[in-house]
Structure 1
Amino acid sequence: MNKKHLLHSLIAGIIGLTLSFTASADLASVKSKGILKVAVYNDFAPFSNGRTAPQGIDVDIAEALAKKLGVKLSLLPFDAGENLNDDLRNMVWKGHYLGYGPADVMLHVPIDPLLTNANKQVTFFAPYYRESVLLAIDTKRVPDFSNLKDLVGKKLCAAKGEAGANVFFVTDNGSLTKYVRIMNTAQECADLMIKGEVDVIAARRAELEASLSKLSSAQLVPVESPILPPKGWIVGMAIKADRPDLGEALAVALDQLRRSGELDDIFKKHSVKFVSP
């Protein structure tokens, strides 16, 4: 081996050792500081909601993960950006230009090949829930339902900017559009249904289960639409790609929560059925 090749080999070895040390030191750093910084979305009931004292499924999962790692939780609630790439940049691998973030880990990230390919700086891992869009139908007001076309003339509701609203808008060349009432959140739609002012809501399963748990006449039914993934979508966690030891520790902690039943209990606490990814 000549001197040039030897030098390259030595440099490669040093880089490899440095990366390995950095990865293991990163988990040690979290434990030595005694804090796990977890990013959760603002205004995202029932997973994380409440500006001053966030509550929800993701908040409880974050607390349980920190406990498993033997550290305290530091929540980093944040407003959703223009797209998920922005959220991942701000909260996972770089931080916001105003100095907020990044966190050690971000929760409720879709585990999606397109998203993965677009964000090489990020590791997506530990799926913990399968979300989907459903219809909530007040059976007192809509006793018979077979497909979306049956909803012509009914009082429909969805949250602005959400997939549920788009389901109504694209159905049958827009025939349902004039019957749709758009609110800020699915919770507001649920409040209207409880008052008898709305017949059908399209929203995420978890939102509907949590907000309509006490309305016995509300029936949740699957909805088929060309704009929806047929099996819903899986959500999990995201960390910066150069933090594998931390990711492994969090994955092990989540698996322990799942096996012990604690994860299921967290969902039940918020009136949501745990749907395995």
Structure 2
Amino acid sequence: MGRRDMLRRACLGAVLAGAAVAMAAAAQSRCADYVPQPKPQNASRDIVGQDLDAILEQGFIEFAAFDDFAPWSFGEKGEIKGVDIEIGKLIAADLGVEPRFRLVEAGENLEADLRNWLWKGPVTGGKVANVMLHVPVNRDFTCRVEQVVFTGQAYRQQIAIAYSETAYPGEVPGTAYFRYDPVGVENDTIADFYLSSLAGGQLLDQIHRYPSTLDAVAAIGTGEVKAAMGPMAELEYARPAVVKVVSPPLPGFGAGRWTVGVGVHFAYRPLAYAVDDAISAALEDGRIQAIFAGYGLTWMEPER
């Protein structure tokens, strides 16, 4: 399984878990079924001295960001780039320290990512970071991972459709179109599962699966598909001039949008507060919105 596939499974698991919990919440209060988790006991020497005062004294802060995850975080010509990387730089600047980034591989699910890169460390190689970027924030999911403070909500993402204006002149295709028209998705993602289960599987013959959302959008240009479905920012980042991106109504899709923030080790709440203050200030003065605009992306207000 490739790194992007694993990342997709991690994010998909978080979003779907949140949706499932939300449905259960109709019958009970938030986290009513919560079972306390074991607290980490001296999990790693790497976390010693990583509180806010130590970071300010050492003069740098370390961020974990997902590898090969454009437009959020990726390497290009020896440089680490992406929207999340720019947000990390804003946080470091607000604290008055140097930002240091580590591109990491995604685990099987979000809990594994948080365990590996925030509060315990991987089984072999690598160490925890001060802040993990691009963490989906769900109010109910946060009850179940006590070792992490979920904070710094910076933007919202949602599933959207990219389509060829040539294929649909004067039209905006919805999911009903894909009973007959080929549509591209990234394999094993939330868009893939949604379309595969829609209308009792009637769309299955028209679904074309690709290694990434970027590849699915590229297939529009080659004529393999007429449209692609995936997270809006990834569609926007990949689109050529002849492709439009829209977010039409998606019937029966309760998990189609989510807020994204950051994660911090639960023991370092002053650091979590400082990080959230930095992001809040950057939202108020438009710096985060400007980052999205610089990458040609639509910024959507998060739930804070």
TM more than 0.5 = yes
Q: Residues 186 and 208 of structure 1 are in contact (CA less than 8 Å); yes or no, is this contact kept in structure 2?
A: yes
Q: Pick which of 140-149 and 98-107 moved more.
A: 140-149
- Hey, what's the Cα distance between the residues in 2 that align with 1:73 and 1:219? 33
1:1-277 alignment, distance < 5 Å? 26-50=51-75, 52-143=78-169, 144-145=171-172, 147-212=174-239, 214-229=240-255, 232-277=257-302
**1: CA distance, partners of 2:117 / 2:185:** 28
Distance 1:167-1:25 versus aligned 2 partners, 3 A rule:
closer
TM-score, normalised relative to structure 2: 0.78
User: 1:197, 1:146 → 2: CA distance?
Assistant: 16
The answer (yes or no) to whether the contact 1:168–1:177 under 8 Å persists in 2 is yes
Kept in 2, the 8 Å contact 1:40–1:78? The answer is yes
Aligned counterpart, 1:10: none
How far does residue 153 in structure 1 lie from its aligned partner after superposition? 2.2
Percent identity between the aligned chains? 26
Letter in 2 for 1:41: F
Please tell me the residue identity of whatever aligns with 1:201.
A
Given that residues 158 and 181 in structure 1 are in contact (C-alpha distance below 8 angstroms), is that contact kept between their aligned partners in structure 2?
yes
Q: Per-residue displacement from partner, 1:188-246 (whole Å, max 9, x unpaired)?
A: 1111212333201010011011111x42442423241434425x111111101110111
Relative to structure 1, is the Cα distance of residues 44 and 228 closer, same or farther in structure 2, using a 3 angstrom cutoff? Answer: farther
Letter paired with 2:85: V
Structure 2 partner of 1:8: none
* Rg larger for: 1
The number of residues matched between the two structures is 254
Unaligned runs of 5+ in 1: 1-21
Give the whole-Å Cα distance in 2 for the aligned partners of 1:234 and 1:47: 14
Gaps of 5+ in 2: 1-46
> Partner of 2:247: helix, strand, or coil?
strand
Give the root-mean-square deviation of aligned CA atoms.
2.1
Normalising by the residue count of structure 1, what TM-score does the alignment of the two structures yield? 0.85
Using the alignment, how far apart are the partners of 1:110 and 1:92 within structure 2?
Answer: 15
Give the AA of the match of 2:160.
L
